[in-house]
Every structure is written in C-alpha cells, then in structure tokens.
C-alpha cells in the first residue's frame, strides 16, 4: 500500500488527531501566555526576582518530557485527566521563552520614553499597559512563536499518557515498526509547526514598532 493510499484511508483519523493536537497546543499557549507574561513583567520590574523565576523556568525546561509527565502523574487533580496532565507539562516547557522575551521587551523600551511617561504623570499601571507592553509586543510575540513551535513538537509526547494528538500515530508506528504510521503523525506535526511559525512571524513583523 502506498503512503498516499494510507493517508487517504486514514484521513479522518489523522484529522481527528490533528484537531486534538491543536487543542493541546492552543490550551497550552493560552495558559503559558496568561502565566508567562505577568511573570516576565515581574522579572523586568523586580530584578531580584529574575534569578528565582528564570531559574525555575530553566530547570523545568531541562527535565526530560516523558519524565516530567511521570512526575506529574501522581499529583491529585492533575493526574485525573490525561489532557490536563499533558497541558500542565507542556505549559511548564512553554513558559521560559515567554517570560524571557517579555522581560527583555520591557527592559528594551527607550529610557527616554519611560521617563517622559513618568514625568507626565502616568501611573505605573498606565505606563505598563499604554507604553511598555505595546512597545514590547513584537518581542513578546517572538517568544510566543518559539514556545508554540516547541510545544507542537513536544505535544507528540502527550500520547504517552493517553492525551491523544498526533503522537498517537508516532507511538503506534514505533510499537508496530511501521514507518507510514510514524510519518502520518510526524508530517502533520511538522506542517503545523511550520504554519504556526509563519503566521506568528507575519504578526510579529506587523506589530514591530517603527523607529
């Protein structure tokens, strides 16, 4: 059976797995942005927090992904559902680039702009939301892009705990020594990664402030 025959016969299954994959990645990114951006702001505001926060995110990054899933499995509420478990683990991986880029973006705002903002009587909150975050948006987005591509790849591991996604094909293929099955998971995952990378880089360029 040729690979194209194989694909057409399993088209529904592949589509199903791709949608699951997109859901895992989308939920992960929403969570990682919701946690990572505030942490990045905190790092930029309080330099003494930079070591503990970036350090922890760095450590999370170094734990092998299968091991991380294993560590999280016995955690009460998390271990109850496979997708909950997978999204938590993936979020831990996605945090570092988002925190780092948010902090760098805010630190990169022209000091003259910040001083003018303070001098004109903007509150800290106004400076953050009206000046610092809009001006660091493209840098933050660059971090989101890196994290998204990373997450699409790592999310294939989620199948190991039964959370579904394109990893299902890869694990099945490995078990059955069937390259076609492996490719049926790997190719859509790669395409997703490339597509996300392209879309986000376009968005990033459009949001880059003019100089």
Partner 1 sequence: MSAATSAGPETVIEFRNVGYRLPGGNVLLHGVSFTVSRGETLVLLGRSGAGKTTALKLINRLTEPSEGEVLIEGRGTLDWDPIALRRHIGYVIQETGLFPHYTVEQNVLLVPRLEGWPAERIRSRAGELLALVGLEPAQFLQRYPHELSGGQRQRVGVARALAADPPILLMDEPFGALDPLTRMELRREFVALQERLRKTIVIVTHDTSEALLLGTRIALFEAGALKGIYLPREFLLSSEPVASAYVSQLHALEEFERGK
Whole-angstrom distance, CA of residue 187 vs CA of residue 174: 15
Instruction: Kindly state whether residue 195 participates in binding partner 1, applying the rule CB under 8 A.
Output: no
* SS3 labels along 130-153: HHHHHHHHHHHHHHHHHHHHHHHH
Among 47, 55, 162, 209, binds partner 1 (CB under 8 A): 209
Instruction: Kindly state whether residue 33 participates in binding partner 1, applying the rule CB under 8 A.
Output: no
Range in contact with partner 1 (rule: CB under 8 A) among 63-71, 117-125, 140-148, 190-198: 117-125
Smallest separation, CB 120 to partner 1 (Å) = 5
Element (H, E) at 64: none
From the list 105, 115, 157, the residue with the least C-alpha distance to 135 is: 105
Please give the structure tokens belonging to residue 91. Answer: 């979020």
Chain positions 54 to 113 lying near partner 1, rule: CB under 8 A, are 110, 112-113
Chain length of the chain: 211
- Reduced to 3 states (helix: H, G, I; strand: E, B; else coil), residue 177 is coil
The count of residues interacting with partner 1 (CB under 8 A) is 20
Instruction: Kindly state whether residue 135 participates in binding partner 1, applying the rule CB under 8 A.
Output: yes
Smallest separation, CB 113 to partner 1 (Å) = 5
Site for partner 1, rule CB under 8 A = 110, 112-123, 126, 131, 134-135, 209-211
């Amino acid at each position: 059976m040729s690979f194209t025959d194989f694909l057409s016969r399993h088209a529904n299954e592949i589509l199903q797995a791709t949608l699951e994959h997109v859901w895992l990645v989308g939920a992960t990114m929403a969570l990682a942005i919701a946690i990572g951006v505030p942490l990045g702001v905190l790092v930029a505001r309080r330099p003494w927090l930079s070591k503990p926060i970036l350090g922890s995110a760095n450590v999370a990054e170094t734990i092998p992904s299968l091991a991380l899933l294993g560590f999280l499995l016995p955690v009460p509420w998390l271990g109850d559902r496979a997708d909950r478990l997978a999204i938590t683990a993936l979020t831990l991986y996605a945090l570092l680039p988002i925190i780092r880029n948010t902090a760098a973006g805010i630190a990169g705002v022209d000091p003259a702009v910040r001083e003018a903002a303070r001098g004109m009587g903007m509150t800290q909150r106004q400076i953050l939301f009206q000046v610092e975050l809009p001006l660091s948006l493209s840098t933050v987005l660059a971090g989101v892009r890196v994290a998204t591509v990373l997450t699409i790849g790592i999310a294939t591991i989620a199948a190991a705990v039964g959370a579904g996604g394109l990893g299902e094909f890869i694990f099945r293929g490995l078990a059955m020594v069937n390259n076609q099955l492996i490719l049926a998971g790997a190719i859509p995952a790669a395409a997703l990664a490339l597509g996300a990378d392209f879309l986000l880089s376009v968005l990033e360029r459009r949001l880059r402030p003019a100089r």
